[in-house]
Structure 1
Amino acid sequence: MSEFFVDPSGDDSWPGSETQPFATLDRAVRAASETTGAVVVQLRAGCHFLTDPLEITRGDIAFQAYGFGTPGQEAAVVSGGRRITGWQHREGSWVAEVGDLDTRHLSVDGRRAERAAIETLPGAATSTDTGYVTDVTLNWQSPADVEFVHRGVYPWTEARCAVASTTVDADGATTVTMAQPAFDHAHTLYHFAWDGHSSRGPGLPTRIENDAAFLTEPGTFVLDRSRPGRHALRYLPLPGEDPERTVVVAPALEVLLRATGVAEIAFRGLTFADATWLRPAAEGFLHYHGGNYYTGGRVDVVTIEADRSWVTVPGESSAIPACVRIEDSTGVRIEGCRFTRLGATGLGLTGGADLVVRECDFDTIAASGITATGSRDLVVEDNRIQHIGLDYSGAPGIAIDETSGCTVAHNHIAHTPHCGIVAGSAQGTRILHNLVTDTLTALADGGGIYLSGSQGDSADNGALVRGNVIEDVHTPYNFGLYTDYGAAWVTVEDNVVRRADSSSVLQVFPPLDNVVYRRNFWDADPVGSDDVPAGVVYEDNTTLPDPAALDAATGTLRAMAGPRRDGIGHLELG
């Protein structure tokens, strides 16, 4: 086995030994590609800044923090960011010229800074086919950098559309023209009727981001791109922050690492941080469900009640990308890592087989923590996932789709704006002993654990949802355990649900088929349990409205749920 060492204070002209380490990960990867046999790349403490995504194209290689698994393990951060210096004081804020840097995110001393924003359009505002008109003058300094957020177009959606320009007429009214084609696409996608009342388009914004005129809350920032090649970053500091001491990092890369078509690779004890995702600012983000968004093309109509209630759904959609990507690879182990301050999904697994994500932390992420599509024999266990979906509220903590033999077990998912765990059509999925708390904090019509579509073609290869604890599902119109949209071949047993709007639902459209609810405990009867539909078996479930009685009856189940670190099942997350 060969070993290479990387230290931010090293030198790429050195041999990469422990006493003469490389300075960059890129140099270590090149050295590994020229070496036969197994390779371990040891990362010493510090921030390992990347200038380009790290491309892994050879197998039998491990990247790990120096001293991994020992009390002396060092803190090694793989960052796609760029440190911002040269601040000048202007009207109480800090301003730095950053060249052609484009980013949607910023971290200050390791804290995610929010983009400056206002709640909605001021004055009396109305929608038009091309944008909006309001009866007041909008003194925005860089209108083409402004972005509208539309939360709740459907209860489960949140769109983002960019502004193209603003004009003020002689009476002081402002016309806002939205960027295309996103705004036209929004009118195509968001077209629905409910009880005979129809609506088209995204409606008025619920939040407006990124203009210096909005910079009133300490700890927020804006990026002004009105001067090509001389973009200006402006930050309003918190009390006590000093530009000489405060570390400000702007994510510059969209992808930190990509491993493609390789076998037997590992990542151990590393922190992946500081990446952005630029698509929404350029072309809009027309969210429909989960981590998917619409880019144009066919839109289908789903009829709920003839001539009275229907919704439109995209014929095809794209998925929010991941900042760390493992594609068509086998024998991958990701252990003890942290994914934080990322502008899209944290970790994306596409295809491949024999994949393990174990004892990792995912936090402060714009979209999902983990997504897997088309993978086989995947294990996601003992991870902690919290404060995700910060920019894209529909993104769940863990999302799997078209997988085979996937196990999601003993994870703690907390503080998510929509669902905690989502499983689309798959085979042989096992969702076991997870602790899911504080979900659906922003959007509605979802669940702490949500499954839709066929989960197999028999009881032998269907989905098993067992031993999970779901607590505190917040928005109105939600379900703790949600088998939805034609879910089939699912067994839901020995779970605990409390403090949800509804514990579960048995009557959905399209209807459930070969779904079993057995030996579950909850504080309220599921919707439809008084008239169980033909495709559902509902037996030996217990409803205990009294919290003390529910606690007493479910102590063993609750003790087993969540990560098994140091023998502790129920971990508290901040």
Structure 2
Amino acid sequence: MRPLQHSLLSIFISAAALSATSGNIYVSPAGDDRADGSINAPIKTPSEALRRAREWRRLNSPEAADTIQIILADGNYTLSESLFIRPEDSGTSSSPTIFRSANDSKAVISGGTEIKGWGIAKNDPRIPNALIGKIWVADAPTKGHRIVETRQLYVDGKKAQRASQFAPGVMDRMIDFNTSDRTITVPNTDFDIAEANSLEMVVHQRWAIAILRVKDMRHDSKGNLVVSFHDPESRLEFEHPWPQPVIGGEKGNSSYYFTNALQLLDTPGEWYQDYPSGKIYYYPEDGSDPNKSKIIAPALETLVRIDGNPERKVCNVKFENISFEYASWLRPSMEGHVTLQGGFRLLDAYKLAVPGLPEKAELENQAWIARPEAAITVSNSSGIDFHNCLFTHLAATGLDYVAGDSDCNVTECSFTDIGGTAIQIGTFPDGG
């Protein structure tokens, strides 16, 4: 009887082990999306793993009876599109879907793309003679049939400075802010802006900043520069009454600086992307060869989009020990960036000729806003949790619980190198 007892025991152990791992889907950067997703045959992408989990739930498969774990091996998972999680992906309180890194590793969900093939920039009249041989250039990577445009560049995990008029943290004072002809007057510059067709001006106005694409620059009778800008930001900047730059205030005039021109690329560590060629120029620190560094440009703005609706929410999806990295923010290159506060950009704003609204009789101005972009957005959900995750190298908001979300937890997570807000919650008004 002993052999039979041993056989029955072996069968029981094997069945128990199978049951314990039957809800696991294994993913690896070296995997294959045609594989079965077992530990010895992992699939390649988180999106395919999510589809497998969705099918288990749709078909009421035994694998969905308990927790479904999507287990990501160590490494980078570079997305070509946002990971879209929808109501059909919902788990339950007793059977959640969990994305987690394997063991003690930290898998990286990334929207970045590496820039390679650097060479010394030659025969470009915009580069001063003193810097010839020090500026490097590379073709922008492509995504589909289009070059990747970027406003952010990271060298060995450190954010590089866009080519700017002054050293980081240094600004100059404007001379005049003219709402009638929609111009800003500033001191004359010591650089040639004739070929700076992508030049931007960053204006500090009270508690907010504005990013304005320069349309034209001319000299006035005193030799100062009078600068005008493209719409829609020109209209917004000069029509919205609050906040606007200060001229003649107690602490002087508001400050500004110019950025985004090859003529401004004069400090080690700075970079610039040309338009429309897409070529990326970089002035390495310490004269190093950029081909020996890992240089990343974010190519995707939203890494994860969790999107339910009020009638059918996304429920019980969790992320554990995952790193979310390299999300882009490109909108200011298309339409500038004029904010009200908190990074909420203006859609329209102006002073009321006759004050008052039905709900507030003394109101003197009116504004409509839109929320900032985010690397991860969550809408109409319940039980969407992040535990021990890292959010880094993200150009706008890190994590945004937009609207209709409840019972969500963010615990023991780190947010670093975030361009905007780490966590944003809630919305106002409707559509905001």
What's the offset of the Cα at 1:144?
Answer: 3.3
Residue number among 62, 68, 86 corresponding to 1:39 in the alignment: 68
Tell me what 2:411 maps to.
Answer: 358
Q: State whether structure 2 residue 182 is matched by structure 1 residue 148.
A: no
Residue deviations 1:146-165 (CA, integer Å, cap 9, x gap): 221111x22x2222111134
Tell me what 2:296 maps to.
Answer: 249
Q: Is the 8 A contact 1:88 1:95 kept in 2?
A: yes
1:37-186 aligned at under 5 Å gives the runs: 37=64, 38-57=67-86, 58-60=89-91, 61-67=97-103, 73-90=104-121, 91=132, 92-98=134-140, 100-119=147-166, 126-128=176-178, 129-132=181-184, 135=188, 138-140=191-193, 143-151=196-204, 153-154=205-206, 156-166=207-217, 176-186=227-237
Q: Is the 8 A contact 1:288 1:313 kept in 2?
A: no
Residue deviations 1:423-450 (CA, integer Å, cap 9, x gap): xxxxxxxxxxxxxxxxxxxxxxxxxxxx
- Give the 3 Å change call, closer, same or farther, for CA 239–138 of structure 1 in structure 2: closer
How many angstroms apart in 2 are the aligned matches of 1:237 and 1:3? 45
What's the offset of the Cα at 1:168?
Answer: 7.8
Residue number among 208, 211, 218 corresponding to 2:268 in the alignment: 218
- Give the 3 Å change call, closer, same or farther, for CA 260–235 of structure 1 in structure 2: same
- Give the 3 Å change call, closer, same or farther, for CA 343–299 of structure 1 in structure 2: farther
Tell me what 2:24 maps to.
Answer: 3
Residue deviations 1:163-203 (CA, integer Å, cap 9, x gap): 134468999976543111211211111467999x999xxx7
Q: Is the 8 A contact 1:50 1:79 kept in 2?
A: yes
Matched residue type, 1:52: E
Tell me what 2:9 maps to.
Answer: none
Q: Is the 8 A contact 1:122 1:136 kept in 2?
A: no
Which structure has more RCO (C-alpha within 8 Å, separation ≥ 6)? 2
What's the offset of the Cα at 1:75?
Answer: 2.1
Tell me what 1:236 maps to.
Answer: 283
How many angstroms apart in 2 are the aligned matches of 1:340 and 1:96? 25
Residue deviations 1:385-432 (CA, integer Å, cap 9, x gap): xxxxxxxxxxxxxxxx79xxxxxxxxxxxxxxxxxxxxxxxxxxxxxx
Q: Is the 8 A contact 1:138 1:174 kept in 2?
A: no
1:300-339 aligned at under 5 Å gives the runs: 314-339=366-391
How many angstroms apart in 2 are the aligned matches of 1:283 and 1:232? 21
What's the offset of the Cα at 1:136?
Answer: 5.5
- Give the 3 Å change call, closer, same or farther, for CA 95–193 of structure 1 in structure 2: closer
Matched residue type, 1:187: F
- Give the 3 Å change call, closer, same or farther, for CA 125–46 of structure 1 in structure 2: same
Q: Is the 8 A contact 1:167 1:175 kept in 2?
A: yes
Q: Is the 8 A contact 2:182 2:238 kept in 1?
A: no
- Give the 3 Å change call, closer, same or farther, for CA 31–286 of structure 1 in structure 2: same
What's the offset of the Cα at 1:286?
Answer: 1.2
- Give the 3 Å change call, closer, same or farther, for CA 205–171 of structure 1 in structure 2: closer
Q: Which runs of 5+ in 1 are unaligned?
A: 68-72, 304-309, 375-400, 403-574
Q: Is the 8 A contact 2:347 2:367 kept in 1?
A: no
Q: Is the 8 A contact 1:101 1:252 kept in 2?
A: yes
Q: Which runs of 5+ in 2 are unaligned?
A: 1-21, 58-63, 92-96, 122-131, 309-313, 356-361
1:243-282 aligned at under 5 Å gives the runs: 243-261=290-308, 262-282=314-334
What's the offset of the Cα at 1:32?
Answer: 2.3
Query: Which segment drifts farther, 110-119 or 246-255?
Result: 110-119
How many angstroms apart in 1 are the aligned matches of 2:385 and 2:210? 35
How many angstroms apart in 2 are the aligned matches of 1:233 and 1:337? 31
What's the offset of the Cα at 1:95?
Answer: 0.8
How many angstroms apart in 2 are the aligned matches of 1:171 and 1:370? 47
How many angstroms apart in 2 are the aligned matches of 1:101 and 1:176? 29
C-alpha RMSD of matched pairs (Å): 3.3
What's the offset of the Cα at 1:216?
Answer: 1.8
What's the offset of the Cα at 1:29?
Answer: 2.2
Residue number among 35, 38, 45 corresponding to 1:17 in the alignment: 38
How many angstroms apart in 2 are the aligned matches of 1:293 and 1:165? 24
- Aligned residue pairs total 355
Matched residue type, 2:323: T
Tell me what 1:189 maps to.
Answer: 240
Tell me what 1:485 maps to.
Answer: none
What's the offset of the Cα at 1:363?
Answer: 0.7
Q: Secondary structure at the match of 1:349?
A: strand
Residue deviations 1:216-238 (CA, integer Å, cap 9, x gap): 2212211111x2xx301111111
How many angstroms apart in 1 are the aligned matches of 2:214 and 2:395? 21
How many angstroms apart in 2 are the aligned matches of 1:372 and 1:326? 9
Matched residue type, 2:34: S
Matched residue type, 2:155: V
What's the offset of the Cα at 1:311?
Answer: 10
- Give the 3 Å change call, closer, same or farther, for CA 352–20 of structure 1 in structure 2: same
Matched residue type, 1:160: I
Q: Is the 8 A contact 2:176 2:184 kept in 1?
A: yes
- Give the 3 Å change call, closer, same or farther, for CA 332–171 of structure 1 in structure 2: closer
What's the offset of the Cα at 1:27?
Answer: 2.0
- Give the 3 Å change call, closer, same or farther, for CA 209–113 of structure 1 in structure 2: same
What's the offset of the Cα at 1:26?
Answer: 2.2
- Give the 3 Å change call, closer, same or farther, for CA 89–355 of structure 1 in structure 2: same
Residue number among 181, 199, 209 corresponding to 2:259 in the alignment: 209
Structure number, greater radius of gyration: 2
Residue deviations 1:335-354 (CA, integer Å, cap 9, x gap): 00010110110000022111
Q: Is the 8 A contact 1:191 1:198 kept in 2?
A: no
TM-score by length of 2: 0.74
Q: Secondary structure at the match of 1:51?
A: coil
Q: Which has the higher strand share?
A: 1
Residue deviations 1:19-63 (CA, integer Å, cap 9, x gap): 121222222222222222242111111111011111011112211
Q: Is the 8 A contact 1:131 1:176 kept in 2?
A: yes
- Give the 3 Å change call, closer, same or farther, for CA 354–342 of structure 1 in structure 2: same
Q: Is the 8 A contact 2:173 2:255 kept in 1?
A: no
How many angstroms apart in 1 are the aligned matches of 2:393 and 2:245? 39
TM-score by length of 1: 0.56
